[in-house]
């Protein structure tokens, strides 16, 4: 093969990689997306006790994105631990799970346009008069969901004893039982546990101002431009129609 033909071939392959999904389909040929979500994070994603389906802000959002972009959506409940590895293994097309867009994650995955701003906050028992900021937690125990940005935030303070959990509900159970002094978690989830979680309401409070400013994005496998294009098309239509704002109101974000 001469050099010119070789370069041509490389170009064709590169173009095909840019415009096709993992199944090699261009965006117009994709009719259905399988989306993973760790449904342990109310009000963002949780299992509806009656229907047993994944419900919450993210479920509503991804269904609306599908409607707007003209693709069918199937949501699969998937544990946070391993959710990114399963995406890479091609087990689903995307993750919607309150995933914060971070520089580190952007190296390995691609993100949709941002759809919600939610920083980390500190939650303590309501009777705690000492803690007004994360720096008051030195020598005490702080909990987070393993591998989340809350986990990373606590890790910045070597004097704080960090305890991580498979899911944030277990951390709140430990906080209620006095086995933890605080939790660092996304603001909407903190608000849900402080105000609404039936077993816990009146037991906890949020202290100080948010520690971070974080934006959620929908995650796809690196280079999956076809699925990304569908997701961003849907998102942008929900942004301009005002539907995204309505969903935020519905779920108190």
Rg over alpha carbons for the chain, rounded to the nearest Å, is 20
Q: List phi, psi (to 5°) of 243.
A: -65, -35
Stretch that binds ligand ARG, among 9-17, 130-138, 144-152, 227-235 (CB under 6 A): 144-152
Produce one character per residue of 172-207: b if its CB has 16 or more CB atoms within 10 Å, e if not: bebbbeeebbbbbbbbbbbbbbbeebeebeebbbbb
Question: The tokens of 252 are what?
Answer: 């108190």
Minimum CB separation from ligand ARG for residue 175, in Å? 17
Q: Which stretch binds ligand ARG (CB under 6 A): 4-12, 91-99, 125-133, 236-244?
A: 91-99
Q: Any contact of residue 112 with ligand ARG (CB under 6 A)?
A: no
**In the complex, what is the shortest distance from the CB of residue 12 to ligand ARG, in angstroms, rounded to a whole number?**
37
Give me the 33-62 binding string for ligand ARG, x by CB under 6 A, dash otherwise: -----x-xx---x-----------------
Shortest Å, Cβ 239 to ligand ARG: 20
Rule CB under 6 A: which of 185-214 touch ligand ARG? Answer: 186
Return the beta strands (E) in 72-166 as ranges. Answer: 72-77, 94-95, 109-111, 116-117, 120-125, 141-145, 161-165
94-95 and 219-221 strand pairing: antiparallel
| Closer to ligand ARG by Cβ: residue 131 or 145 | 145
The binding site for ligand ARG (CB under 6 A) comprises 38, 40-41, 45, 80, 97-100, 145, 148-149, 186
């Amino acid at each position: 093969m001469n050099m010119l033909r070789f370069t041509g071939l490389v170009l064709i392959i590169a173009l095909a990689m840019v415009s096709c999904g993992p199944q090699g389909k261009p965006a117009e040929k994709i009719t259905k997306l399988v989306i993973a979500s760790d449904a342990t994070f109310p009000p963002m994603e949780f299992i509806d006790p009656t229907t047993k389906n994944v419900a919450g802000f993210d479920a509503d959002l991804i269904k609306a994105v599908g409607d707007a972009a003209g693709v069918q959506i199937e949501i699969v409940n998937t544990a946070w631990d391993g959710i990114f590895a399963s995406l890479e293994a091609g087990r689903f097309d995307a993750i919607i799970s309150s995933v914060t867009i971070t520089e580190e994650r952007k190296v390995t995955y691609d993100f949709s346009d941002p759809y919600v701003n939610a920083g980390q906050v500190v939650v303590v028992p309501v009777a705690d008069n000492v803690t007004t900021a994360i720096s008051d937690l030195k020598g005490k125990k702080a909990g987070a969901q393993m591998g989340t940005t809350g986990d990373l935030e606590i890790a910045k303070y070597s004097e704080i004893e960090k305890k991580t959990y498979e899911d944030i509900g277990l951390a709140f159970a430990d906080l209620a039982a006095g086995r933890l002094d605080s939790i660092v978690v996304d603001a909407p989830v903190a608000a849900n546990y402080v105000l609404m979680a039936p077993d816990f309401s009146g037991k906890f409070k949020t202290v100080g101002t948010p520690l971070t400013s974080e934006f959620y994005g929908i995650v796809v496998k690196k280079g999956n431009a076809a699925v990304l294009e569908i997701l961003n098309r849907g998102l942008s239509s929900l942004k301009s129609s005002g539907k995204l704002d309505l969903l935020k109101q519905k779920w108190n974000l």
